[in-house]
Structure 1
C-alpha cells in the first residue's frame, strides 16, 4: 500500500481541488483509493467520498492522540492501493499555542508519509526559491518530496519555474503545474465549500476537475515518491474492518443537505458499542425510522429552515419522542433544529422542534471558531460529571435566550487553555451544544451513549 500527503503553503492555494482531482485520476487508473482529511473539517471529507465512493476519515493531532491517528490511518490504508491525505491550512499551521499539534506537518511526521507541497505561483518568479527553501529547512523532519505549481501564468512561466527549482533543489520533484486559466472552483459560502450533497449530481464539475489534474500532474512520479508500507493488522484477531457485533439499539442519524457534518469515526464508535445507525432525511421523509435514540449532527439547517419547518410530520413525531424521554444528542446545526426556531439574517423566523428553551439567530459574521476541550459539569447521556473530551466549534449563529446554570452541560476551554464559558444544554436525556465532539477523544462517549439508550428501552 502507498500514501501521499497534499499540503499547502497557506489556506486557499488549491489543496482541495487538487486533492479531488488526484483522487479521481488515481481511481481512473483502476486503483482503490482511500482519502483522509487532516483537521476537523466536515465538508472536504464529503467531497472526497464523491470521488472515491467510500468514506473519507479525519485525522487530527490536537483532538486525538498519536496512537488514535496511527490506528485510524492504518486501519483504512490497509484496504487501499493508495491513500491520499489532504492537509489543513498551511503545512505548519495548527492549534493556537501549540508548537505543532493539529498541523499537517505534525501528522506527516507521525505517519512518516511524504508531503507534496502546493504553491500558488500567481505573481511568483525567482521568489519561489526562498519560499521553498524556508519550508524545506524549517523542520527537516517533515518529509517534503515534491511540489505542485498552481496558478501558473503561461508555458514560459512554468518552464522558468521548473528550471530554477531543478537548479536549486535537484532532489525535489515538480509533480505538476496547473495553468491559471484552468482554475477550477467549487462554489462556497460562509462555512466553506458547497457540500457533497449539493454537487453530487453535477458530474460535469467532478469530471472536469479529474480531467485537468490528470493532464497537469505526473501520476507516475507521484506514485513513485509515495510512502510504501506493509499492510499491518489493526483489528483484533478474527475481526474484519467494518464488521460489527449484532446491534442492540438503533440510533437515528439525519443525513441530507441540511445535516451532513459527522465524523465517520463517531458513527463507527457507536456501531462498535452496539448501535445500528438508521439514516433518514428531515427534509424529505414523512416518518421517522424505527429508532431508540437520535443523534443530530451539524450542517446547514439555516439554508433549509423553511423546508425543515414545513415538515410538520417529522417535527411532531420527533418532538413527541424526545419529550417522552428518547435519548437525544444534537450538536451545532442539530442544536438549532432542536431549538424553538431559527431567525434568519433578514428577520424571518422558522419554528423547529422546540425541545430546547431558546431560539437561534443567524449572524452576518463568524461567532465562534476553534478547538474546544470540554469537561462535563453533570451526568449526561454521553458521560458522567468530570468526563473530558475534545472537539471543534465553528458557527455563524448564537442563542437568543440563555438558560439557567443548572442546565449547562460543559465547561469549555480553547486550545490555549482559556476558559470559553459554559457550553451546551442538558436536561434529562437531552444533550446539545455548539461543539462537535470527536468520540475517539474519549472512547467512553460512545459506550456511555449506547448504555444509556439500553437503560431507557429496558
Structure 2
C-alpha cells in the first residue's frame, strides 16, 4: 500500500449553522459528479441527514468524520481510502467553524485541509470582509482556501462583497480567486433544501431532489470556484497518509442481523453497516412502516429516524409487531436506538397532544417535546470497553424500568442517557458509532450487555 494518497480537498465551513454549508457542498459535489469526476463527500460530526443529500449529489456513500467519535486513526484511514480513488474530496463542517469540542477547525488544522468559508451575505456589505478576516486569522495555522458568499442580492451587492475581501493584511485590492474570493450564490428560494425539526428533509422523500441539486450545480458553475477544473483544484491538494490496518475479529460470523430501514428508521451510518459486515454478520432489511414481518434472523437492529411522523402506520401494523414480539419471546437480541426505541414503548404522544398506542414491548411512554431535549457526544462504558456515539432527540421517555446502564457525556454540557433493558432488548437514545468498538458492538447482537 502506498504510504500517501494525494487528492484536492476542501473543508466547507461557516461562522454559524444555517449559512449554507450543505447547499454549497451538495452543489459542488453535483457539479463535478455530473462532469464525470469521482467526488467523495464527508460530513463533520454526528449527522444522519446532510449525508443523504451528499450521497445523492456525489453518487457515493458519505461517511462522518469527528476526531472524538471516530478517533484519529479511523478518520485518517477513511480519508486515505477516499483520496486513493477520487478526483476531489469535500468535507462539510458542523455548526460554526470553531464550535464544538473538537471543532471543524481542529480537523482542518490536524489534517492540513484548506477551509472554504460560506457566509450568508444577506443584509451586509463591508462587514462581510471583517467576518472573512476573523475566520481566517482567529486560529493560528488554519489552512485557508477562501470564501464564497451565499444569498447575494444582486450584481452590485456581489461587487461590494468582493471589494470587502482582502488577499492579505496589506489592504491591496482583491484579485479574484488567488486573493480568496471564490464567488457568490444569489438569493433564490428555489435553492433552499427543505427542513423539519431534526434538520433537512431526507433527500429520498422529495421527488424533485435531483432537480434541486442540478439547479444548485448550475448556479455554482457560474462562480470562480465552479469554473475550476480538476487541474485548478490542485492548489488545494492534500497528502493523506496510509494507516496500519486494524483487523476486526469475525465475532458475528454466521449471525443474521435484520435492520429496519424505511422513512421512519433512516438514521443509519454507512460505517455502522460496514462494521457489522466486517464482524461477519449477514444483513437483511425490512420496513416496519410497510408492516413487513421481521425476517428470519438472529438479532434485530432498530436505528433512529422519524417514528413520530409515521406513528399511525407503526401503531396499526400487526405483522411487524407480532414478528418482533415473537423474536423477543425467543430470547433473540434487539438493539434499538433513539427513534428505533420509541415504538417499543406502550404509547407515543405527538406534538399536538394526541397519543398513539405503540408496540408495548417495553413498559413506559414517550412524548414529543416542543424543543430539543438533548444533543451531544456520549460514550457507553461497556464490559468490553468504551463505545462512542452521540445523542440528539426531541422526545422524552418515562418508564418504570431501572436502566441497566447510563452513558457518559463526551462534552462539558451534556447529560447521561439511560440504557434500558428487558430480556434480550437493549434500548437507548444513544446512537452508537459501531467502529469505535467492534467487540462491544458485537455483544449488542449476541447477548445481554451490562
Same fold (TM over 0.5): yes
Distance 2:120 2:66 in 1: 25
Matched, 1:150 2:157: no
Q: Which moved more, 1:103-112 or 1:214-223?
A: 214-223
What is the aligned partner in structure 2 of residue 184 from structure 1? 191
Q: Which moved more, 1:266-275 or 1:175-184?
A: 175-184
Q: Name the SS of the counterpart of 1:219 in structure 2.
A: coil
Deviation for aligned residue 1:217 = 5.0
Q: Name the SS of the counterpart of 1:139 in structure 2.
A: coil
Deviation for aligned residue 1:123 = 1.7
Distance 2:114 2:321 in 1: 49
Matched, 1:255 2:261: yes
Distance 1:245 1:176 in 2: 51
Q: Name the SS of the counterpart of 2:331 in structure 1.
A: coil
> Does the CA contact (< 8 Å) of 1:150 and 1:178 recur in 2?
yes
Distance 1:434 1:266 in 2: 16
Deviation for aligned residue 1:258 = 0.5
Cα deviation per residue 1:198-257 (whole Å; 9 max; x = unaligned)?
1255433232222222234533447534532467655759x9xxxx99952111111111
Q: Name the SS of the counterpart of 1:61 in structure 2.
A: coil
What is the aligned partner in structure 2 of residue 440 from structure 1? 435
What is the aligned partner in structure 1 of residue 29 from structure 2? 23
Matched, 1:211 2:218: yes
TM-score, normalised to structure 1's length? 0.87
> Does the CA contact (< 8 Å) of 1:20 and 1:48 recur in 2?
yes
What is the aligned partner in structure 1 of residue 105 from structure 2? 105
> Does the CA contact (< 8 Å) of 1:75 and 1:234 recur in 2?
no
What is the aligned partner in structure 1 of residue 57 from structure 2? 51
Give 5+ residue unaligned stretches, structure 1: 96-100, 377-383, 454-458
Change beyond 3 A, Cα 1:422–1:121? closer
> Does the CA contact (< 8 Å) of 2:299 and 2:446 recur in 1?
no
Q: Which moved more, 1:364-373 or 1:294-303?
A: 364-373
> Does the CA contact (< 8 Å) of 1:8 and 1:91 recur in 2?
yes
Change beyond 3 A, Cα 1:180–1:343? same
Change beyond 3 A, Cα 1:301–1:24? same
Distance 1:362 1:417 in 2: 22
Q: Name the SS of the counterpart of 2:181 in structure 1.
A: strand
What is the aligned partner in structure 1 of residue 288 from structure 2? 282
Deviation for aligned residue 1:375 = 2.5
Equivalence map 1:321-400=2 (5 Å): 321-376=327-382, 384=383, 387-400=385-398
> Does the CA contact (< 8 Å) of 1:322 and 1:430 recur in 2?
yes
Distance 2:277 2:258 in 1: 12
Distance 2:400 2:224 in 1: 53
Deviation for aligned residue 1:331 = 0.5
What is the aligned partner in structure 2 of residue 228 from structure 1? 237
Change beyond 3 A, Cα 1:30–1:50? same
Q: Which moved more, 1:198-207 or 1:186-195?
A: 198-207
Matched, 1:413 2:409: yes
Deviation for aligned residue 1:438 = 1.2
Deviation for aligned residue 1:353 = 2.4
What is the aligned partner in structure 2 of residue 162 from structure 1? 162
Distance 2:386 2:296 in 1: 31
Q: Name the SS of the counterpart of 1:317 in structure 2.
A: helix
Q: Name the SS of the counterpart of 1:286 in structure 2.
A: coil
Distance 1:280 1:55 in 2: 20
> Does the CA contact (< 8 Å) of 2:220 and 2:226 recur in 1?
no
Distance 2:329 2:46 in 1: 32
What is the aligned partner in structure 2 of residue 33 from structure 1? 39
What is the aligned partner in structure 2 of residue 381 from structure 1? none
What is the aligned partner in structure 2 of residue 84 from structure 1? 90
Q: Name the SS of the counterpart of 2:12 in structure 1.
A: strand
Distance 1:67 1:421 in 2: 27
Deviation for aligned residue 1:48 = 0.9
Query: Aligned-residue CA RMSD in angstroms?
Result: 2.6
Q: Name the SS of the counterpart of 2:222 in structure 1.
A: helix
Distance 1:27 1:370 in 2: 33
Distance 1:186 1:368 in 2: 24
> Does the CA contact (< 8 Å) of 2:389 and 2:432 recur in 1?
yes
TM-score, normalised to structure 2's length? 0.88
Change beyond 3 A, Cα 1:31–1:345? same
Deviation for aligned residue 1:319 = 1.5
